[in-house]
Homo-oligomer: A and B are copies of this chain.
Amino acid sequence: MPIPKDFSAFIKISAKERALSQLQRWIIDGTLIPGEKLVDTELSDALGVSRTPIREALQILEIQGFVEIYHGKETRVTKIEKDDILKIYPPFAALQSLAAELATPMISNEQIENLKRINTEFSLLLDRGQPYKAMELDEEFHNLIVEVADNSYISSFTSTMQKHIRRFKYLFLKHVRTTEQISVTEHAELIAAFESREAAKTMMLMKQNVMRPMWELYESIETNSFRQE
């Protein structure tokens, strides 16, 4: 029996990849706090790999905007403040809206069924009071649309932006209480617009669905209510 060589369960993940995703997780969930100094020798001890993959991971994190490397001096987790939310959301919304536009003529019935399934699950998790899980389903909903849009430039950028948004929620909200049931309704409207193939409508609804939480978040945050070096 022929076994495919790179069957996903057996893909070997490199030390660099491990370091990258671990550091990313730590920065997003606040284990590594904004402004914290990162020393590669310490990180390499902590993660059990040498300094090289750590450094490579840090370079990538710098490009993604999660750390700042002061040439020859030091490396720190990027700071973040309340008003940053106003900078992150608009470009994210613009590309999500574009993704919706591009997806409108492309989306299959099967994929629409999938969106419905995700939205039902999303609603259920909100009812059950599982906001973290619900957030993940919301992300899944949006990512499926990006996938349908089939544009690697959009997907790579939105994936990074989504991580920044997630970090923001983790840092500023003790309990992620985003996206109330109104989002479920918006999703349903969006799905209906996909079904009737109204691109202008999907664009508008998508923009709304992304931007509304921005204002809710912004107003629910007291200034300086967050940990920082």
On A, residues with C-beta under 8 Å from B are: 14, 16, 52, 55-56, 59-60, 63-65, 71-72, 87-88, 90-91, 94-95, 97-98, 102, 151-154, 156-157, 161, 164
- Taking a contact as CB atoms closer than 8 A, the residue among B71, B87, B88, B153 that contacts A91 in the complex is B153
Cross-interface CB contact of A56 among B56, B152, B156, B161, cutoff 8 Å: B56
Please state the number of chain copies in the assembly.
Answer: 2
Bound-complex Cα distance A167 to B55 (A): 29
Least Cβ distance of A108 to chain B in Å?
20
The reply to whether A90 and B102 form a contact with Cβ atoms under 8 Å apart is: yes
Name, among A14, A91, A164, the residue most crowded by chain B CB atoms within 10 Å (CB to CB): A91
Interface centre among A59, A72, A97, by most chain B C-beta atoms within 10 angstroms, is: A59
Q: Is the interface of A mostly helix, strand, loop or mixed?
A: helix
Check B87–A98 contact: CB distance below 8 A.
Answer: no
Q: Look across to chain B and name the residue whose beta carbon is closest to the beta carbon of A16.
A: B59
